[in-house]
């Protein structure tokens, strides 16, 4: 009676055959975890002797696809214990081939992503790491898209599907999509150019066309710049391939030209001379500018006296803070020397 129970047929297979197939599948899952644990322990002992972190990164990321691959093999053996009709066996065979291709793709994707992470970690050691972190994420996403696309195509082709017709259909749709996304593609290419050429990094002050500010974010499609007014301007990366980029932060020092136009009653040239000497003396003592390169001279005497001040702000100083400090001092010196600025004429109408 007990043996007859296991001889009952369910979908052309006895209950004992189904239990054997299930036991093989469960045993394979346990076996996969044990084997991977043993191999990882041995491999970790080996990686401790190497200086490179690449093998450690790969080992951490390939556990799931390796276990999945072993379980897939166990599933194949379990299915062989059962009997199905020809159409079902054909579908199971195709499914096994397709899933095997996906398992291999999964494994390769993990390895490639580990390699990309290792490469960018090496690059971050000699830089601020902000741009590299963004491009590392981009590299990982791109590798996933490319490898999984190829894996699915190869898997479908080996499983017996007509991939040519599928690709032809996708090609027409892809062409229409490419035409509609020309600007996006240009921006992506611009982002790659920024990453490869490195004309600036996050935190650098740059000028492109009429926009000047500090780079706060660099992405694959756009870059964000915070202007002196505190506003954030988003610039498509395609602009960086078509326009000149001025990296202000790379200047050995930043030149500032300030013109001081005195009022008409400031024709006392003795006072003007004293004012010039006072400005020179203050600039000489200032620790925020290059002390040997500043110039202070009388540029014009008509229609009103005009003093021109040229100085160079040191690269480690905040340009706007330095300008504010110096120019407030200039106003104080003008007042101390009994002079005043020439104010623009104003008119009113009723």
The answer on 51 and 120 residing in a single domain is yes
pTM, full prediction: 0.51
User: Which residues, including other chains, have CB under 8 Å from residue 69's CB and lie 6 or more apart?
Assistant: 100, 103, 104, 107
Separation CA 223–CA 228 (nearest Å): 16
The answer on 232 and 165 residing in a single domain is no
User: What local confidence, expressed as pLDDT, does residue 135 receive?
Assistant: 66
The total of structural domains in the chain comes to 3
The answer on 260 and 243 residing in a single domain is no
The answer on 17 and 36 residing in a single domain is yes
User: Does 144 reside within a domain?
Assistant: yes
Q: Are 134 and 92 in contact (CB under 8 A)?
A: no
C-alpha count within 13 angstroms, C-beta hemisphere, residue 66: 18
- Is the pLDDT higher at 41 or at 337? 337
Q: What percent of the chain has pLDDT over 90?
A: 7
Average pLDDT of the residues in 272-284: 90
Average pLDDT, the chain: 78
User: What local confidence, expressed as pLDDT, does residue 346 receive?
Assistant: 43
The answer on 178 and 219 residing in a single domain is no
User: What local confidence, expressed as pLDDT, does residue 193 receive?
Assistant: 76
- Is the pLDDT higher at 20 or at 179? 20
The answer on 99 and 52 residing in a single domain is yes
User: Does 187 reside within a domain?
Assistant: no
Q: How many Å from the N-terminal Cα to the C-terminal Cα in the chain? A: 116
The answer on 222 and 128 residing in a single domain is no
The answer on 271 and 164 residing in a single domain is no
Number of H-type helices and E-type strands within the chain: 11, 10
The answer on 224 and 135 residing in a single domain is no
Look at residue 350 and tell me whether its pLDDT is greater than 50: no
47-51, 143-147, 157-161, 271-275: least confidently modelled range: 47-51
Q: Are 134 and 205 in contact (CB under 8 A)?
A: no
The answer on 69 and 209 residing in a single domain is no
User: Does 130 reside within a domain?
Assistant: yes
Separation CA 258–CA 334 (nearest Å): 14
Average pLDDT of the residues in 212-217: 88
Domain that holds residue 202: 198-248
User: Does 193 reside within a domain?
Assistant: no
- Is the pLDDT higher at 45 or at 104? 104
Average pLDDT of the residues in 55-68: 75
Query: Which of 157, 182, 207 is where one domain is finished?
Result: 182
Convert the pLDDT of each residue in 287-343 to its tens digit.
Answer: 888 877 889 998 888 888 889 999 988 877 877 888 999 999 999 998 888 888 887
Query: Which of 134, 158, 182 is where one domain is finished?
Result: 182
User: Does 348 reside within a domain?
Assistant: no
The answer on 52 and 130 residing in a single domain is yes
Look at residue 8 and tell me whether its pLDDT is greater than 70: no
User: Does 60 reside within a domain?
Assistant: yes
Report the range out of 26-30, 104-108, 197-201, 253-257 with the highest average pLDDT: 104-108
């Amino acid at each position: 009676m007990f043996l007859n129970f296991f001889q009952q047929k369910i979908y052309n297979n006895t209950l004992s055959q189904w239990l054997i197939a299930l036991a093989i599948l469960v045993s394979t899952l346990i076996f996969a975890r044990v084997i991977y644990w043993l191999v990882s322990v041995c491999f970790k002992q080996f990686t401790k002797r190497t200086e490179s972190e690449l093998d450690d990164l790969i080992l951490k990321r390939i556990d799931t696809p390796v276990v999945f691959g072993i379980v897939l093999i166990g599933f194949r053996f379990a299915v062989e214990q059962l009997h199905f009709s020809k159409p079902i066996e054909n579908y199971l065979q195709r499914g096994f081939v397709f899933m095997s291709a996906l398992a291999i793709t999964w494994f390769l994707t993990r390895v490639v992503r580990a390699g990309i992470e290792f490469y960018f970690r090496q690059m971050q050691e000699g830089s601020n790491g902000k741009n590299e972190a963004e491009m590392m994420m981009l590299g990982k996403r791109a590798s996933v898209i490319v490898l999984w696309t190829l894996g699915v195509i190869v898997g479908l082709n080996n499983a017996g599907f007509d991939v040519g017709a599928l690709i032809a259909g996708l090609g027409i749709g892809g062409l229409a999509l490419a035409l509609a996304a020309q600007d996006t593609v240009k921006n992506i290419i611009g982002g790659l150019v920024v990453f490869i050429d490195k004309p600036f990094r996050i935190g650098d002050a740059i000028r492109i066309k009429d926009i000047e500010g500090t780079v706060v974010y660099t992405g694959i499609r756009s870059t964000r710049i915070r202007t002196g007014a505190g506003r954030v301007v988003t610039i498509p990366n395609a602009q960086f391939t078509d326009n000149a980029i001025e990296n202000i932060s790379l200047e050995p020092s930043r030149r500032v030209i300030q013109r001081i136009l005195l009022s008409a009653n400031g024709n006392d040239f003795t006072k003007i001379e004293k004012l010039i000497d006072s400005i020179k003396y203050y600039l000489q003592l200032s620790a925020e500018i290059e002390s040997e390169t500043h110039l202070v001279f009388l540029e014009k005497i008509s229609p009103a006296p005009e003093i021109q001040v040229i100085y160079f702000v040191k690269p480690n100083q905040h340009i706007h803070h330095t300008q504010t400090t110096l120019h407030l001092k200039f106003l104080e010196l003008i007042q101390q020397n009994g002079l005043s600025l020439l104010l623009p004429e104003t008119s009113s109408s009723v």
